[in-house]
Amino acid sequence: MLGMEGRDEDAVEGLAEEPHMATFVEELSSLVAQLPPRDQERVLNYARELAHPPVFPHTPLPPGTPGHVVAKLRVSPEVGAALEQALEDTERIESHE
């Protein structure tokens, strides 16, 4: 059948329809279905691990010296200068790292 503008209506209808885009789940399902059973099981186990990551127990910080005690420590000027230099060295970013 010809439409008002001389085009075939069936062809116009076909152009209006967009191809179905698979969702991630559909694509994954399709790909997994192509695998041998052993690999399907591996993918399933991996997906389970991703869905439920292990929870690591909270470990308390080790005991240390309280800050107010550290603030009272006194060292020689030489040791102080060496400590200051060590702190500055740890704050510097090296280009090769």
For residue 22, what are its two tokens? 């698979």
The reply to whether the predicted model has a pTM over 0.75 is no
Total number of domains in the chain: 1
Nearest to 27 by CA among 48, 43, 7: 43
Kindly state whether residue 35 falls inside one of the protein's structural domains: yes
Kindly state whether residue 20 falls inside one of the protein's structural domains: yes
Kindly state whether residue 22 falls inside one of the protein's structural domains: yes
Q: Give the range of the structural domain holding residue 18, as residue numbers without chain letter.
A: 9-51
Least confident residue range of 9-13, 51-55, 79-83:
9-13
Rounded mean pLDDT, 17-32: 84
Residues 6+ apart with CB under 8 A from 22: 30
* Per-residue model confidence as pLDDT tens digits over 40-80: 999 999 999 999 887 877 777 678 888 888 888 888 999 99
